[in-house]
Amino acid sequence: MNRMSKGAVAVGAGVVLLLGGGGTFAYWNANVASTGGSIVAGDLDLKANGTGTWTDRNGAAVDITSYKVVPGDLLTYTQKLDVTLVGNKIAANLTVDAPASSGTFTATNIKTGVITLKDGSGNAVTNPLRASASGLTARTTFEFLSSTVNRDDVNATYDFSKVAFKLQQIQQTGLQ
């Protein structure tokens, strides 16, 4: 082996030792603690405020445990609700979840209404809600349609224990 080849082998062996073996390369680095603060989550909650009430088409109170509907009856369920919405960009829809067929009524003979909302002053409130509200009045209806014929749905039942109000957050613009 000539001198040049021996020199090249020696240099190569040195580089190998430095890279993988005994040597290290140092790179500069630095760090600093940040004072970014804490993130706190908001809140979304829905609670019944008192007991709901039933009224007939004329606004007279109805005891739902003993009332017998007939074709043409329209009953309204009213419930006060407390809505908690805390968050800089929070918005939510308040809906009523009434099962389409919750009992033995023929589906084409009944109609469950959509929810209507009013604030404590009696002003209409629309979805989406963007702030907390105490004593929000929610109403929905159950109608035994007058188009019911013959003896259809005599002694039929509808289970309102499965009807619930639902508050669900929705995506606000700018929140991707």
Structure confidence at residue 5 (pLDDT): 64
Phi, psi of 168 (to 5 degrees): -130, 125
Mean pLDDT of 3-9: 62
According to DSSP H, which parts of 17-162 are helical? none
**159 vs 63, higher pLDDT:** 63
Q: List Cβ neighbours of 82 (8 Å cut-off, separation of 6 or more).
A: 45, 46, 47, 48, 49, 133, 134, 135, 136
**Cα–Cα distance, 102 to 115 (Å, whole number):** 18
Residue 29 · residue 22 · CB < 8 Å: no
Mean pLDDT of 44-71: 94
pTM score of the predicted model: 0.73
Q: What is the pLDDT of residues 120-173, one digit of tens each?
A: 899 999 999 999 999 999 999 989 999 999 999 999 988 777 678 999 999 877
